[in-house]
A and B are shown apart, each in its own frame.
Chain A
């Protein structure tokens, strides 16, 4: 187990490093410059001064190692577009919004998906099962950018329960979270049902029944541990999906989250902000993947004791 954990940790660090490097160079390969301002042409000297202040007059690899050095010290450097503002601060201001939506969505997804999947598996091939799985399929086929506007249209405009844009009132998190939550609930429901069914068909469940263990206890104590494995495995990709989904959600509902910063940073050729946001997101994803990998390994007694 320890060896497994360490190797995963090393892999995680490698990924962040590779992403860092790739992003650093890719954004600089893109045509255009961070200082182009459209109609107004910046005078040469001002441009030179700006470049120097960001260290861009140095050769590229020097900038690269400089950046590595900075990041290792926790300095995410200042933004090029938003003058004077530290990237770290930009991220820290915007991230809580994305985080709230992401976590609420995940909780909604688990809260609806897990019970639905378990019930569908236990009562398989009954009406409950079919209806749950049909709803789940609809959830999978409706992408966020379809579900979001629909929900906004109905609950926001028609019923006027919620705002459809902005991040002002305390209920503004509802529609965005529910949009993403429902879709992931669908995936989780299907995965849970599949996982539980596989376990429930195993011989050791028959043994448990033969011992007189009542139905619900079989589900909770005998089946759940193995049956939830696919869901735990899914958490990694789910979080990746929620991350990218947040870009879309933030666009639909006009939320000041981190997603729009990523896109805008690239649009604006804001080298440092691009790097900062990408590295931030990657580190987050990598950390979650690492934790879920370790969790799965731990849940499997054969791996845990190896």
Chain B
């Protein structure tokens, strides 16, 4: 998750970012204290979590919620809060 930092000679001048959409390279998952996990309650695939997730970290395939992008999920818990059937638990990260 930790990339090698570049020297002043290797980066664009003036703080400019010359690559579009590179925010996804910034792994914000390391900030997390609580991690979202699905529990035994059956998910109804309403996709409220997908709509509300501020970091686009809900993975959806074929219109079904299939999991979390833990490299970017900051553990804010919004998904768990908005879930109408309460099938997401927030669990403390072990280390």
Q: Are A and B part of the same complex?
A: no
